[in-house]
Structure 1
Amino acid sequence: MELADKAVGFLLSYISLSIFTYYTFWVIILPFVNSDHFIHRYFLPQEYAILIPVFAGMVFLCFLCIFIGYVMLKSKKKKA
């Protein structure tokens, strides 16, 4: 089990670092590269650099509110 935990931890770290590197390059470095450079083919338009994190944050907040509401309703039923 310990080896599986290490593998999952390594995979999550690798994915997080990859996403962070991609997003950082996309938002900070790419605006300074000429628009006709081939590297622009690998990235979405700049508008999505704001829309994707905002959408992900809203989805996270919705799930968090639903989870908190579910836990509160469940604990209320146990007391009654």
Structure 2
Amino acid sequence: MELADRAVGFLLSLISVSIFTYYSFWVIILPFVNSDHFIHKYFLPQEYAILIPVFAGVTLLCFLSVFIGLVILKSKKKKA
């Protein structure tokens, strides 16, 4: 079981580092590369560099708000 946990942890770390590297290159380095360079075909337009994290953050806040609301409602039902 411990080996499986380590494998999952390694995989999650690898995915996180890959996403961080891709996003950092996309936001920091790509604006300084000529727009006709072949590397641009591997990246979305620059507008999405802001829209995707904002959408993910709003979605996360919505799910957290619903979760906290459900926990509060359940705790009030137990008291009554």
TM-score interval, normalised by the smaller of the two chains: over 0.9
Matched, 1:29 2:23: no
Tell me which residue corresponds to 1:5: 5
Q: Give the TM-score taking structure 1 as reference length.
A: 0.98
Aligned-pair distance for 1:60? 0.2
Q: Give the TM-score taking structure 2 as reference length.
A: 0.98
- Structure 1: give runs of 5+ residues left out of the alignment: none
Alignment of 1:1-80 (within 5 A): 1-80=1-80
Provide the C-alpha distance between the structure 1 equivalents of 2:78 and 2:5, rounded to a whole number of angstroms.
Answer: 34
Cα deviation digits, residues 41-80 of structure 1 (max 9, x gap): 0000000000000000000000000000010011111111
Provide the C-alpha distance between the structure 1 equivalents of 2:78 and 2:3, rounded to a whole number of angstroms.
Answer: 38
Residue identity opposite 1:67 in structure 2 = F
Query: What secondary structure sits across from 2:36 in the alignment?
Result: coil
Q: Please give the root-mean-square deviation of Cα atoms over the aligned residues, in Å.
A: 0.4
Aligned residues, how many? 80
What fraction of aligned residue pairs are identical, expressed as a percent? 85
